Amino acid sequence: MSSDEQAIRVMVVDDHPMWREAVARDLADAGYDVVATAGDGQEAVRRAPAASAHVVVLDLNLPDLPGVEVCRRLMRHSSPPRVLVLSASGEHADVLEAVKSGATGYLVKSASRAELLDAVRRTAEGDPVFTPGLAGLVLGEYRRLAAAPAPADARTPAAPQLTERETEVLRLVAKGLSYKQIADRLVLSHRTVQNHVQNTLGKLQLHNRVELVRYAIERGLDDGR
Amino acid sequence: MTARGRAGGGFSVEQPLWRAVSAFRLLTLLYAVGTYPRLAGHYQDRTAGWVYLGLLAAWTFATVRPFSSKLRCGWGWLYTDLAAVVAGILLTRVFDSHAGVLQGDPTLPTIRAAGAVLGFAVMGGWLPAAVSGLAVGLADIVEAGGVTASDLHNIVLLMLAGVAIGYVIEVARASELTLARALEIQAVTRERERLARDIHDGVLQVLAMVQRRGSEAGGEAAELGRMAGEQERALRALIAEGLAPNPSYVAPVVRRRSRSGPDAATAGPGADRSDLDRSDLDPSGAGSDGGAAEQDLRSLIAPLAGARVTVSAPGTPVLLPGHAVRELGAAVGAALDNVRRHAGEQAQAWILVEDEPDEVVVSIRDDGPGFDAAARLGEAEREGRLGVSQSIRGRLRDLGGSADLFSAPGQGTEIELRVPRGAAGAAAGTAAVPGPRTAGSPVAGPGTNQPSREGSAG
C-alpha cells in the first residue's frame, strides 16, 4: 500500500526478527516504502547501496559488526543514507559514537509507534532527532573536548565549540522541552531552533571526520616510510 | 580439585623442586660411594658395606623416574627410600668397627639420608619432613649409641632444612591455587558478562516490544505494557550502571590524599561545616573530610529514570567527592518528590546532569502547570510547601553550592542545583579541572552569579 513516488525509502537493520518485522510493518502501514531489511551488519552494509534507502533504522547491537562500524561504512557511500539509531541498549558510549560518525537521530526502542514514525519522517527530512538523553550526551561530549589538553601541534584541529545560543538550546532539549517550547522561551522561530540543534551535531561530525582523516594520514605516512 | 592441584604441579614451581630432589639423591649417592673407600679401613665387614652401597645405588638409580615428579611419586616410594637410608644408618653400627663408631665415622648413606627427608618435604610439606627427619635423627642416635654433639647438630640441620623446604612448598602450592582460582574467576566473569549482555539485550527488546504493543492494544494489556516499560527502564539503568567505571577504582587514590580528617566524616553536620571551611583555607585541597573518595554522580542519578523520569547525562563519569554525590543525590530525590507532590503523579520529569570544569549542575524540570516565580515563591516558602528551603537548599548550601527554582508559564517548574568543584572537597584530582581553585571564592560565586533567577528566594 505504499509505493507512490513520494514514499520515503527505509531500510531496517535489527538482529531480532520480532523487532525487525514489527518496525518494518509499522513503517509500511504508515505509507513508508521499506526497501530492505537486514539481520546483521555485513548484510546491512552489503545491501544498502542497492536499496538506496533514504533512512536506515539501525539497531546498534548487532551480532557481527558493531552498529557504530555499520554506521561508519554506510556513510562512506557516495550518497549515504540518513541513519536513525533505534537502540534498546543503555550503552551511551555507542550512541555517541554512532552520532559522531554520522547518525542524525537516536530513539530508544520503548518509544511509541507514533514517535518512531515521526522520527523516521524527520530523519528523512534531514532534521536531527534528539532525545533529551542524546542532548545530554552531546553536551557532555563538547565539554569533554573542551576540557582535553590543547593540541600540541598545529595540524590537530581545535576542539569544536558550541555558541552560547547552541548550548542554551541543547540544554533545553536535554531538559525535555519540545522545539516549539524552546522557540517560545527563547523567542526564536521553530526553524532557527532546528538549525541550532542541527549545527551542534554537524560540528561534532565534522570534527570527527577531520580527526579520522588526520589519523589516517598519520598512519599512512608512518606505514609508508 | 585434587586432580587439578596435582596436574598443576606439572607447570608450576613444584616441578623444578622434584627435579632438584631427584638430582640431590643422585649426587648424595655419589658422595656416599666416594666417601666409603676412605673409611673402609675402619670397617670389620667391608664387603657388606659395599653390598649395601650397591643396593642403595641400584635403588636410587631405579627410582629416578618416580622421584622426578609428583605425578609419579607416591608415599610408598618415599617410605621405602626412608627405610633404605635408615637401614643403612643402623647397619653402619653392625659393619663398622666399634672404634670407628665411637670415633664418629660417617654413616654408610651419609648425606644421602637427607634426600629421603627432602622427598617427604616436597611431597607433603613441613610436617612429614619433620617426622622423617626425626626418624633419620633417631637412627643416627641409635647408630652412635648415644647423643653426641655433632650428631645433634646434624639432626637439627636436617630437620630445619626439611621443614623450611616443606613450608616453602606449601606456600607455593597455596599461592598457585589462588592464582588458578583467580584466573578461573576472571574467565567465568568475562563469559558471564558476555552472556549477560546478550541476555539483557534480548530481554530489553522483548520488554520494549511488550510495552509498545500493550499500550497500543489498550485496556489490561496497556497496564502490562506499562509494567514492562518500567522494568525495561530499570534494567537499562542497571546495565548502564554496571558498565560505568567502578568508583572503587578511583577511591583508593583519592582517599589516601584526604585521610587527614577521618573524624570529621562521622561528627555530624556542624563538624562538616568547619571542616569545609578548613579545606577552603588549605590551598592543597588535602584537608577535606574523610568520606571524600570520588564517585560518579551518574551512578546515583541513573537509577531514578523511570516511566515518568528521563535522565540525561554525559557519557563520561561525573566525579565528585563521595559526600557531595550523596548529598546531591538526596537533593535530586527531594526535588523529584516535590514534582510528585506539586505537579501531580502523572507529571513528567527530566533530569539533566552537566559536568562543567568548575561546577556540576543538575537540573530537574517537570511539565506541571508551573507558577509565576516572583509572585508565588515567597508565599510558598512561607508555607514551607515547596520544601526547597529545607532539604534541597540546605544540602546545597552545605556543599558550597546553590539551588535555584524558576518557572516559565506553561513550561513547568525547574530547579537547578549547582555544586562548585573546589569547595566540595578534593575534586582537584580530576583531569577535567585545569586548576583546583581558580574561581576565587567558590562558596560565594554561584549564588551571586544567579541574581535574575533567584526570585524572592534569597
Q: Which residues of B touch A91 (CB under 8 A)?
A: 239-240, 243
Answer whether B205 sits within 8 Å of A16, measured CB to CB: yes
Give bridge partners of residue A33 from the DSSP assignment: A9
Answer whether B365 sits within 8 Å of A136, measured CB to CB: no
Answer whether A90 sits within 8 Å of B243, measured CB to CB: yes
Interface mutation target, options B194, B212, B216, chain A, most CBs of A under 10 Å: B212
> In B244-352, which ranges are continuous DSSP H helix?
247-257, 268-281, 298-301, 322-338
Q: Which residues of A touch B312 (CB under 8 A)?
A: 132-137, 174-175
**Alpha-carbon distance B245 to nearest alpha carbon in chain A (angstroms):** 12
pLDDT digits (tens, 9 = 90+) for B8-59: 444 567 788 888 888 999 999 999 999 888 888 888 888 888 899 999 999 9
A4 assigned to some structural domain: no
CB pairs A-B closer than 8 Å? 124
pLDDT digits (tens, 9 = 90+) for B111-125: 898 999 999 998 888
Residue labelled with grid coordinates 580439585? B1
The closest CB to that of B240, out of A92, A132, A141, belongs to A92
Number of CB atoms found within 10 A of residue A178's CB: 13
Q: Residues B276, B167: one domain?
A: no
Is the confidence at residue B1, as pLDDT, over 70?
no
Q: Residues B276, B177: one domain?
A: no
A2 assigned to some structural domain: no
A201 assigned to some structural domain: yes
Give B273's pLDDT tier (boundaries 50, 70, 90): very low
Question: What is the distance between the alpha carbons of residues B422 and A128, in angstroms, rounded to a whole number?
Answer: 37
The closest CB to that of B363, out of A91, A143, A175, belongs to A175
3-state helix, strand, coil in chain B (%, to 5): 65, 10, 25
The closest CB to that of B312, out of A113, A135, A144, belongs to A135
Q: What pLDDT is stored for residue B29 in this prediction?
A: 92
Q: With contact defined as beta carbons under 8 Å apart, do A138 and A105 qualify?
A: no
Q: With contact defined as beta carbons under 8 Å apart, do B420 and B370 qualify?
A: no
Is the confidence at residue B287, as pLDDT, over 60?
no
The closest CB to that of A110, out of B229, B350, B408, belongs to B229
Q: Which of A78, A113, A129 is the last residue of a domain?
A: A129
**Stretch B122-149: mean pLDDT, rounded?**
89
Q: With contact defined as beta carbons under 8 Å apart, do B457 and B377 qualify?
A: yes
Q: How many CA atoms lie within 13 A of A15 on its CB side?
A: 16
Q: With contact defined as beta carbons under 8 Å apart, do B449 and B441 qualify?
A: no
Is the confidence at residue B271, as pLDDT, over 50?
no
Q: What pLDDT is stored for residue B103 in this prediction?
A: 78
Report the Cα–Cα distance between both ends of chain A, in Å, rounded. Answer: 59
Q: What pLDDT is stored for residue B374 in this prediction?
A: 52
A146 assigned to some structural domain: yes
Interface mutation target, options A175, A180, A200, chain B, most CBs of B under 10 Å: A175
Q: Residues A58, A35: one domain?
A: yes
Q: Which of A86, A108, A129 is the last residue of a domain?
A: A129
Answer whether A185 sits within 8 Å of B411, measured CB to CB: yes
Q: Residues A85, A179: one domain?
A: no
Q: Which residue of B has its CA nearest to A141?
A: B314
Lowest mean pLDDT among A86-100, A104-118, B320-334, B347-361: A86-100
CA B155 vs CA B110, B120, B130, B134: distances in Å: 12, 16, 10, 7
Q: What pLDDT is stored for residue A155 in this prediction?
A: 60
Residue labelled with grid coordinates 606456600? B171
- Its sign, for the CA torsion B28, B33, B38, B44, is positive
- CATH assignment of the domain containing B360: 3.30.565.10
Q: Is the pLDDT higher at B161 or at B73?
A: B161
Q: How many domains does chain A have?
A: 2
**Stretch B394-418: mean pLDDT, rounded?**
82
Lowest mean pLDDT among A177-186, B95-104, B287-296: B287-296
Q: Residues A163, A73: one domain?
A: no
Answer whether B352 sits within 8 Å of A136, measured CB to CB: yes
Q: Residues A79, A27: one domain?
A: yes
Is the confidence at residue B253, as pLDDT, over 70?
no
Q: Residues A50, A109: one domain?
A: yes
Question: What is the distance between the alpha carbons of residues B247 and B294, in angstroms, rounded to a whole number?
Answer: 7
Question: What is the distance between the alpha carbons of residues A56 and A37, in angstroms, rounded to a whole number?
Answer: 9
The closest CB to that of B312, out of A61, A111, A136, belongs to A136
Is the confidence at residue B300, as pLDDT, over 90?
no
**Alpha-carbon distance A67 to nearest alpha carbon in chain B (angstroms):** 14
Give B427's pLDDT tier (boundaries 50, 70, 90): very low
Residues in chain A: 225
At A32 the three-state DSSP class reads coil
Answer whether A18 sits within 8 Å of B365, measured CB to CB: no
Question: What is the distance between the alpha carbons of residues B17 and B176, in angstroms, rounded to a whole number?
Answer: 14
Q: How many domains does chain B have?
A: 2
Q: With contact defined as beta carbons under 8 Å apart, do B425 and B400 qualify?
A: no
Answer whether A91 sits within 8 Å of B240, measured CB to CB: yes
**Stretch B170-197: mean pLDDT, rounded?**
84
* C-alpha cell belonging to residue B416: 537547578
Is the confidence at residue B407, as pLDDT, over 70?
yes
Q: Which residues of B touch A107 (CB under 8 A)?
A: none
Q: What pLDDT is stored for residue B246 in this prediction?
A: 40
Q: What pLDDT is stored for residue B82 in this prediction?
A: 92
Q: How many CA atoms lie within 13 A of B284 on its CB side?
A: 6
Q: What pLDDT is stored for residue B433 in this prediction?
A: 38
B192: Cβ–Cβ under 8 A, 6 or more apart, which residues? none
Q: Residues A165, A105: one domain?
A: no
Nearest partner of B415 among B337, B345, B358, judged by Cα: B337
Lowest mean pLDDT among B2-16, B108-122, B163-177: B2-16
Averaged in consecutive runs of 10 residues, what is the pLDDT profile of chain A (225 residues)?
Answer: 64 88 90 90 88 89 85 86 81 81 85 87 88 88 81 65 90 90 90 90 84 74 49
A1 assigned to some structural domain: no
* C-alpha cell belonging to residue A183: 522557540
Q: Is the pLDDT higher at B218 or at B63?
A: B63
Q: With contact defined as beta carbons under 8 Å apart, do B275 and B264 qualify?
A: yes
- Answering whether pTM is above 0.80, one says no
At A57 the three-state DSSP class reads strand
Nearest partner of B318 among A139, A99, A175, A171, judged by Cα: A139
Answer whether B356 sits within 8 Å of A143, measured CB to CB: yes
Q: What is the rounded average pLDDT for all residues in chain B?
A: 74
Give B128's pLDDT tier (boundaries 50, 70, 90): very high
Is the confidence at residue B438, as pLDDT, over 60?
no
Q: What pLDDT is stored for residue B102 in this prediction?
A: 77
Q: Residues A114, A16: one domain?
A: yes
- Dihedral angle at the C-alpha atoms of B265, B271, B277, B282, nearest 10 degrees? -50
Is the confidence at residue B353, as pLDDT, over 70?
yes
**Alpha-carbon distance B412 to nearest alpha carbon in chain A (angstroms):** 10
Q: What pLDDT is stored for residue B431 in this prediction?
A: 37
**Stretch B261-284: mean pLDDT, rounded?**
37
Nearest partner of B427 among B314, B296, B285, B313, judged by Cα: B285
Answer whether B243 sits within 8 Å of A181, measured CB to CB: no
* C-alpha cell belonging to residue A27: 513503517
Residues in chain B: 458
The closest CB to that of B314, out of A144, A146, A185, belongs to A144
Question: What is the distance between the alpha carbons of residues B42 and B121, in angstroms, rounded to a whole number?
Answer: 34
DSSP B85-99: HHHHHHHHHHHB-HH
- Helical pair A190-224 and A132-147, crossing angle rounded to 10 deg: 50
Q: Residues A181, A71: one domain?
A: no
DSSP B341-367: III-TT--EEEEEEE-SSEEEEEEEE-
Q: What pLDDT is stored for residue B214 in this prediction?
A: 83
ipTM entry: 0.83
The closest CB to that of A110, out of B202, B211, B434, belongs to B211
Question: What is the distance between the alpha carbons of residues B320 and B421, in angstroms, rounded to a whole number?
Answer: 7
Q: Which residues of A touch B237 (CB under 8 A)?
A: 90
B354: Cβ–Cβ under 8 A, 6 or more apart, which residues? A136, A139, A140, A143, A171, B314, B360, B361, B362, B363
Residue labelled with grid coordinates 554512532? A98
Q: Residue B44: which domain range? A: 2-182
Give B66's pLDDT tier (boundaries 50, 70, 90): confident
A64 assigned to some structural domain: yes
**Stretch B362-391: mean pLDDT, rounded?**
63
B259 assigned to some structural domain: no
Question: What is the distance between the alpha carbons of residues B29 and B61, in angstroms, rounded to a whole number?
Answer: 9
Answer whether B314 sits within 8 Å of A110, measured CB to CB: no
Query: In chain A, what's the furthest Cα-to-Cα distance?
Result: 59
B279 assigned to some structural domain: yes
The closest CB to that of A22, out of B209, B352, B431, belongs to B209
* C-alpha cell belonging to residue A193: 531552533
Nearest partner of B53 among B117, B97, B109, B136, judged by Cα: B109
Answer whether A135 sits within 8 Å of B201, measured CB to CB: no
Nearest partner of A27 among A47, A42, A12, judged by Cα: A12
Q: Residues A55, A18: one domain?
A: yes
Question: What is the distance between the alpha carbons of residues B47 and B37, in angstroms, rounded to a whole number?
Answer: 11
Is the confidence at residue B420, as pLDDT, over 50?
yes
B209: Cβ–Cβ under 8 A, 6 or more apart, which residues? A18, A19, A22, A109
Q: Residue A117: which domain range? A: 9-129
> By a Cβ cutoff of 8 Å, what residues of chain A touch chain B?
16, 18-19, 22, 61, 88-93, 96, 108-113, 131-137, 139-141, 143-144, 146-147, 171, 174-177, 181, 184-185
Question: What is the distance between the alpha carbons of residues B446 and B422, in angstroms, rounded to a whole number?
Answer: 12
Q: With contact defined as beta carbons under 8 Å apart, do B163 and B121 qualify?
A: yes
